[in-house]
Amino acid sequence: MTSKRISGAELDLKVNPAELSARQRQALLAGLNHAAEETRTYAVELTPKDRGILRASAEVSVDPVELEAAISYNTTYAVYVHERLELRHRIGEAKFLEKAMIAKAGDIEAIVGKYLEKVFQ
């Protein structure tokens, strides 16, 4: 069994990754990708917008070896904007990715679960 903790959201997978078939592994990766994309979409809505560069830089990556998905922002200032609570934004807010992870925690588990249900039946 494996459990992953991600910025306030925990996904408890009741599977042993070493025992997954190729088909089950592919389903898990597809579910992780789908869940991460849903979370990225919500995080972008919360991301502060000046010219839109930060929002446009959000991307999802899935590691097929570690069976993990990540959402990242590809700008030099993403961490600064995310962490600085005292900054005021006309559009968006600080802690945009963290808030999205917390808000979508239940959805993440449900999405991944649906992908796994299909191959474990």
Closest CA to 3 of 22, 16, 20, 19: 16
Per-residue pLDDT at 1: 45
Residues of the chain with pLDDT under 70: 1-15
Q: Write the CB contacts of 32 (distance below 8 Å, at least 6 apart in sequence).
A: 62, 67, 68, 69, 112
Specify the pTM: 0.84
Phi, psi of 24 (to 5 degrees): -65, -40
- Exposed, middle or buried, 103 (CB in 10 Å: 0-12/13-18/19+)? middle
Closest CA to 7 of 62, 68, 93, 90: 68
Residue 69 β-bridge partners: 62
User: What are the start-end ranges of the E strands in the chain?
Assistant: 2-6, 9-13, 58-63, 68-73
